[in-house]
Amino acid sequence: MSTLAYAASSRTAPLAPFSIDRRAPGPDDVQIDILFCGVCHSDLHTARNEWQNTIYPTVPGHEIVGRVTAVGSNVSKFKLGDVAGVGCMVDSCQHCASCGDGLEQYCENGFTGTYNGPVFGGDNTYGGYSSRIVVKQKFVLKITHDLDQLAAVAPLLCAGITTYSPLRQWGVEKGQKVGIVGLGGLGHMGVKIAAAMGAHVVLFTTSPGKEADARRMGAAEVVLSKDTAAMAAHANSFDFILNTVAAQHDLDPFLNLLKRDCTMTLVGAPEHPHPAPNVFGLIFKRRRLGGSLIGGIRETQEMLDFCAEHGIVSDIETIAMADINTAYERMLRSDVKYRFVIDMATLAA
């Protein structure tokens, strides 16, 4: 079925209108008319081939909220008219150990990304910068937030789960001192979610103008990461740090803030590698540097329910589809409060 979309045709081409073909829903499929799609920095990395794996033309978008407009005969989780969400994955092998553990993002045979997947061969997939998507019900999420919040719920499907999952995995709990590095799309969700978990949240930023916003979101303290004296005042004091920065930077100033045996987890995936950390900073306090990729489907539903229960949504600026190229430039200047969300009604207009 022919479907309107926006695609990049090469690393340097701006995104432009494009027509894609969506399959007719099979027995296990849910067809969703897309209402809103968040704009993740990964969309930009992919559109510009910054991870050197982009299959062109590429239709980004993996923070999708929409309305169910058809269901296959085996679909029991959704019915016509339901609101539903789709995040970063639309399939995985379903038989490896990771899939068995509900960790489809670590599928040993390679999960299928909502766009630009499967990475290791097969047909390209097209994401949420489009009017409609067809996805296996297993990979479709239930949304329980109020209907007037749907645009602000869309970013939870990637930014929300990518921060929730490591905060849970590393056991963040009430009273712990937790650092969030970078107040962008991921970082602002990290601040809100860690604060809702009861942590004492410290936001590290390179942008002096973001302090009041960070405090409103739940940060107890805000530190300008380029202020070495302010950084030194926090040495050896953190239980956990989540680093969401989208660009190459020196990790040592943050690693030095961890207590003995504690971890900084990277979720930012910059085009160019960070300089290797100072080994002595790690070994003298048995500190750890970790990484984390989105979250599994079960955990994504848990995160959506947690956010609904705690009244958490994203801070968004709604844009028209045609504004996407300007939005990318603004994202590169850290000029977004704090997630762009495309109103998909503007695609057909």
Binding positions for Zn ion, rule: CB under 5 A:
40, 42, 158
- Measure Cα distances from 64 to 17, 117, 151 in Å: 18, 16, 9
* Sheet order of strands, 221-224 included: 221-224, 200-205, 177-181, 238-243, 258-266, 288-291
- Phi-psi label, residue 166: left if phi above 0, alpha if psi -120 to 50, beta otherwise: alpha
Look at residue 254 and give its three-state secondary structure.
helix
Residue 66 vs 268, nearer CB to Zn ion: 268
Of residues 4 and 231, the one with the C-beta less far from ligand NAP: 231
Which residues of the chain form contacts with ligand NAP (CB under 6 A)? 40-42, 45, 158, 162, 182-187, 205-207, 210, 244-247, 249, 267-270, 292-294, 331, 334, 336
Q: Which does 186 bind (CB under 5 to 8 A by kind): ligand NAP, Zn ion, none?
A: ligand NAP
Looking at the Cβ atoms of 192 and 210, the one nearer to ligand NAP is: 210
| DSSP, residue by residue, 175-188 | T-EEEEE--SHHHH
Q: Please report how close the Cβ of residue 40 comes to ligand NAP at its closest, in angstroms.
A: 5
**Is the Cβ of residue 8 or residue 40 nearer to Zn ion in the bound state?**
40
Question: Could you tell me the smallest distance in angstroms from the CB atom of residue 294 to ligand NAP?
Answer: 4
Q: Residue number with the shortest CB distance to ligand NAP?
A: 184
Out of ligand NAP, Zn ion, none, what residue 87 binds, judged by CB under 5 to 8 A for its kind, is: none
SS3 250: coil
* Least distance to ligand NAP, CB of residue 269, Å: 4
146 vs 227 by CB, closer to ligand NAP: 227
Measured CA distances, 312 to 13, 146, 160, 305, 307 (Å): 36, 11, 10, 10, 5
Name the minimum Å distance from CB 340 to ligand NAP: 9
Do residues 275 and 251 make contact, with C-beta atoms less than 8 angstroms apart?
A: yes
40/257 with CB nearer Zn ion: 40
CB of 62 to Zn ion, least distance (A): 5
Q: Residue 185 binds which one of ligand NAP, Zn ion, none, with CB within 5 to 8 A depending on kind? A: ligand NAP
Please choose which of Zn ion, ligand NAP, none residue 166 contacts, taking the beta carbon within 5 to 8 angstroms, the exact cut-off set by kind: none
Quick one: which of 120, 117, 135 has its CA closest to 58?
A: 117
Minimum distance of ligand NAP from residue 78's CB (angstroms): 25
For ligand NAP, the closer of residues 177 and 249 by Cβ is 249
- Buried b / exposed e over 78-108, threshold 16 CB at 10 Å, is beeebbbbbbbbbbbeeebebbeeebbbebe
